[in-house]
């Protein structure tokens, strides 16, 4: 379980995460949605300790993230950042192997290498595994970074806009992989998504942020409604149910 209590972050006078409290139970796929600037990435950064929160507490399985040693936390929680920049000239396989670092401490075992090769297969990166990151397309690079995070094999996985740069086929495959990973291994996957229909079709719960606060939270059938979408994004959407899933059409 992740418990965030009264998290708050400001830049100068501007409060960007405003007294947020949220409990995420273990297991399942939770999507975080909201307009640009709503505070989604800032909240994920606070949870993963990339950003020290000036106020509030974050507990991951009862461990306070601000006092838990980094290597202990890194075996429980992993994060894909929205802007992945890597200055070092690394191959895809080397990048993915970095995900094992909290476990292997730089001395990879046969098991660590097995994890790397399995993730390469799952994400269909075999053909580019030997290439350097600057020799990849945008979508291939995004999949390599997601592979690194999955290779860390933590119970809690935070992914900030994992579908960036992915084509429709790879985006669907990725969401199915997240769903399977949550269902088969009991992982807790928190995703920031801009495509509310992906959020609707693959999440157990959706959390909608607005102006640094959690505006709505619930299962997709409660969140994918014209009223909530109007409140969160200021657009008019028509909702249809297809195969038992709610789908929003917002570009009429």
Ligand X SMILES: Nc1ncnc2c1ncn2[C@@H]1O[C@H](COP(=O)(O)OP(=O)(O)OP(=O)(O)O)[C@@H](O)[C@H]1O
Chain contacts with Mg ion (rule: CB under 5 A)? 41, 82
Query: Given the rule CB under 6 A, which of 36-44, 65-73, 90-98, 167-175 is the region that contacts ligand X?
Result: 36-44
In angstroms, how far is the first alpha carbon of the chain from the final one?
Answer: 40
Residue 11 interacts with ligand X (CB under 6 A)?
A: yes
215 is a contact residue toward ligand X (CB under 6 A) = no
Beta pairing, strands 245-249 & 238-242: antiparallel
Residue 55 burial (CB count, 10 A): 12
The answer to whether residues 50 and 225 touch, using CB atoms and an 8 Å cutoff, is no
CB of 82 to ligand X, least distance (A): 6
User: With binding defined as CB under 6 A, does residue 251 bind ligand X?
Assistant: no
Task: Tell me the C-alpha distance between 118 and 151, whole Å.
Answer: 9
Please identify which residue in 24, 30, 39, 232 interacts with ligand X, judged by CB under 6 A.
39
Give the one entry of Mg ion, ligand X, none that residue 34 binds, where binding means its C-beta sits below a cut-off of 5 to 8 angstroms depending on kind: ligand X
Find the part of the chain contacting ligand X (CB under 6 A) among 31-39, 54-62, 87-95, 133-141: 31-39
| CA–CA distances in Å: residue 162 to residues 32, 39, 101, 181 | 12, 17, 21, 15
Ranges assigned E (strand) in the chain: 2-11, 14-24, 28-34, 55-60, 63-64, 77-80, 156-160, 188-192, 205-210, 213-218, 238-242, 245-249
Q: 38 or 119: whose CB is closer to ligand X? A: 38
Closest contact distance (angstroms) between CB of 209 and ligand X is: 6
Q: Which of residues 53-82 bind ligand X (CB under 6 A)?
A: 82
Under rule CB under 6 A, residue 162 binds ligand X = no
What is the dihedral angle through the alpha carbons of 85, 122, 45, 183, rounded to the nearest 10 degrees?
170
Min dist. Cβ of residue 4 to ligand X (A): 14
CB of 82 to Mg ion, least distance (A): 5
The candidate with the shortest Cα–Cα distance to 125, out of 152, 104, 145, is 145
Q: Does residue number 142 form part of the binding site for ligand X (CB under 6 A)?
A: no
The binder of ligand X chosen from 1, 6, 21, 37 (CB under 6 A)? 37
- The Cα 151–Cα 123 span in angstroms is 11
CB of 106 to ligand X, least distance (A): 32
CA-CA distance, 229 to 234, in Å (whole number)? 7
143 near ligand X (CB under 6 A): no
220 is a site residue for ligand X (CB under 6 A): no
Q: In angstroms, how far apart are the furthest CA atoms of the chain?
A: 55
Rounded to 5°, the CA angle 154-45-25 comes to: 50
For the CB of residue 71, give the shortest distance to ligand X in the complex, in Å: 27
36 binds ligand X (CB under 6 A): yes
Binding site for ligand X (CB under 6 A): 11, 16, 34, 36-42, 82
């Amino acid at each position: 379980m992740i418990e965030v209590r009264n998290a708050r972050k400001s830049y100068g006078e501007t409060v960007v995460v405003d007294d947020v409290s949220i409990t995420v139970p273990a297991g399942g796929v939770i999507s975080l949605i909201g307009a640009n600037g709503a505070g989604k990435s800032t909240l994920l950064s606070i949870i993963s300790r990339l950003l020290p929160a000036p106020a509030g507490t974050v507990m991951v399985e009862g461990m306070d993230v601000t006092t838990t040693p980094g290597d202990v936390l890194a075996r429980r929680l992993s994060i894909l950042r929205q802007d992945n920049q890597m200055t070092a000239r690394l191959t895809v396989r080397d990048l993915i192997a970095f995900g094992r670092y909290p476990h292997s401490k730089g001395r990879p075992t046969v098991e660590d290498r097995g994890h790397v090769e399995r993730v390469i297969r799952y994400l269909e990166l075999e053909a580019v595994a030997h290439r350097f990151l600057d020799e990849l397309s945008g979508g291939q690079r995004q999949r390599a970074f997601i592979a690194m995070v999955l290779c860390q094999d933590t119970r809690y996985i935070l992914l900030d806009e994992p579908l960036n740069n992915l084509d429709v086929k790879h985006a669907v495959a990725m969401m199915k992989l997240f769903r399977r990973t949550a269902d088969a291994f009991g992982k807790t996957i928190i995703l920031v998504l801009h495509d509310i229909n992906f959020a609707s079709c693959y999440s157990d719960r959706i959390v909608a942020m607005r102006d640094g606060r959690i505006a709505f939270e619930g299962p997709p059938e409660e969140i994918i409604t014209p009223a909530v979408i109007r409140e969160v994004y200021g657009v008019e959407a028509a909702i249809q149910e297809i195969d038992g899933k709610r789908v929003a059409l917002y570009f009429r």
